[in-house]
A and B are shown apart, each in its own frame.
Chain A
């Protein structure tokens, strides 16, 4: 397994490539949410601690990438950052994977073909 993701992220971010192999990159928001819910808080903390210190550099890089000109490598890097958003709620606020006193996330579904990022 190790090394399979070499070169999957833009230059300068190879230290984050192991996160792809560890299954933190998803096309769909529902998959990111499911990843959060099946992880332990410790796993989410570890993911957060690995990504957050690098996130300023990552976002500075991504801010130079026009949304319609993302390469596959850029998309994978963005997906790590989108997972950071999902993970930030349990890590920074709830201190548990699930939202306390909330309905199940599956009950809130993207529904609208007109909204371009509804499922992504």
Chain B
């Protein structure tokens, strides 16, 4: 059959420009350094790698994707010494709301709870009595937490309230047997935890320029609409590196219509604006102004913003490089958390390693709650479109892992469009090397 021709889709839905507002706090070195260069207009031939000589330009080893010993070092050097995002404040809006986050790479089970004062706290989800896991449910609401084993009961603020038959214990002090707390800080509604004894940096200092670029984005107005989770048989970095470069779009996703982000001005996913910080990254992605929507995609675009809409211009907290043909910003919060910001929506990825060659991948989509039933149709299009894209990405990265595991190729090549891959690899590697030399991270 041939595609029905879509009519009545106003051209401005594909090319509508939103006012671009630049956050005045966007004063990273990378920002200043690049603004003087004509880099954010076609043909996007600026060479970003030259801005970061410390990253090098040569091939890199595949060992970090394969070695169980390297992974063991990453557990301490990367994950136990970073601020890790574990959700958003809207996930637990009421006093007593809680959820449990098991993070196997850190060998930790975390209970995150909103207490009676409305303060969000994090505890090791382990009872002080016999070290049983305290809460067995994934999420819920409770006025207190009782261990299922022998009924020890804790208040929402972690204080041990009641021990059955307490007088049978010897020299026992309830006061000093609260739940063990975990460092928790919140930025822009995002809940982060840190497993260091004393965090080396506050969350604000840790986020640095990344927070500045995103501060004005309307995160609080957008609601979690749907989520996906998958176990991926690949090293966590191989999974990440399918999501912080666009070079693969025209190949892996040739059928799923990522022509919204590939076009005649930018056929091979060149970066249109970039900031690589000490740890974090923002990569602005080209939007094709002449993206040809499929018929059903075109219908969806009439009733709300969609991921696949092509060039839209920007908005508050978006498009920090003022690129003309802009579609999305990929914000990579080291080590494993992505915030991809679109016009009218955003999504998050978390990449949680479960072994040296397996990753728990989590995806969450945030958008305006649909006002009407047609808007729900539009949201469904973004959802299914993203799902199709993820099916392809995950299939591909498992092939990458299998290819690497043959060790036929032991060095890989990274082009200028993959400079963020190089940057993340080096950020990890520097920490691993420091940890191995000193036996500690800092």
Determine which of B1, B99, B384 lies in contact with A49 in the assembled complex, contact meaning CB atoms within 8 Å. B1
Determine which of B231, B364, B373 lies in contact with A74 in the assembled complex, contact meaning CB atoms within 8 Å. B373
B377 interface residue per 8 A CB criterion: yes
Determine which of B87, B139, B227, B296 lies in contact with A92 in the assembled complex, contact meaning CB atoms within 8 Å. B296
B376, A67: Cβ atoms closer than 8 Å: yes
Please name the residue on chain A nearest to B394 by beta carbon. Answer: A103
When distances are taken between beta carbons in the complex, the residues of chain B under 8 Å from A78 are: 373, 376-377
Taking the closest CB of chain A, its distance from the CB of B180, in whole angstroms, is 25
A105 interface residue per 8 A CB criterion: yes
Contact A111-B229, Cβ < 8 Å, known A53-B4, A59-B299, A82-B380: yes
**How far apart are the CA atoms of A101 and B383 in the complex, in Å?**
19
Taking the closest CB of chain B, its distance from the CB of A79, in whole angstroms, is 10
**How far apart are the CA atoms of A107 and B99 in the complex, in Å?**
23
B139, A70: Cβ atoms closer than 8 Å: no
A108, B392: Cβ atoms closer than 8 Å: no
Taking the closest CB of chain A, its distance from the CB of B366, in whole angstroms, is 9
Interface residues contributed by chain A, number (CB under 8 Å) = 48
Taking the closest CB of chain B, its distance from the CB of A30, in whole angstroms, is 11
Taking the closest CB of chain B, its distance from the CB of A53, in whole angstroms, is 7
Taking the closest CB of chain A, its distance from the CB of B221, in whole angstroms, is 15
**How far apart are the CA atoms of A94 and B384 in the complex, in Å?**
14
Taking the closest CB of chain B, its distance from the CB of A36, in whole angstroms, is 10
Contact A100-B255, Cβ < 8 Å, known A62-B373, A117-B225: yes
Q: Which of A55-87 contact B (CB under 8 A)?
A: 55-56, 59-60, 62-67, 70, 74, 77-78, 81-82, 84-86
B395, A85: Cβ atoms closer than 8 Å: no
Determine which of B229, B295, B377, B384 lies in contact with A89 in the assembled complex, contact meaning CB atoms within 8 Å. B384
Taking the closest CB of chain A, its distance from the CB of B93, in whole angstroms, is 10
A67, B372: Cβ atoms closer than 8 Å: yes
**How far apart are the CA atoms of A70 and B229 in the complex, in Å?**
29
B358 interface residue per 8 A CB criterion: no
A114, B91: Cβ atoms closer than 8 Å: yes
15 A-B interface contacts by CB (under 8 A): A52-B4, A53-B4, A63-B374, A82-B380, A85-B377, A89-B388, A92-B297, A101-B392, A101-B395, A103-B230, A105-B387, A107-B231, A110-B226, A116-B223, A117-B225
15 new A-B contacts, CB < 8 A, other than A59-B299, A108-B387, A111-B228, are: A52-B4, A67-B369, A67-B375, A78-B377, A85-B377, A86-B384, A88-B294, A88-B296, A101-B252, A103-B230, A105-B391, A108-B391, A108-B394, A110-B227, A112-B224
7 interchain residue pairs of minimum CB distance: A102-B391, A112-B227, A63-B374, A88-B296, A62-B373, A111-B229, A115-B224
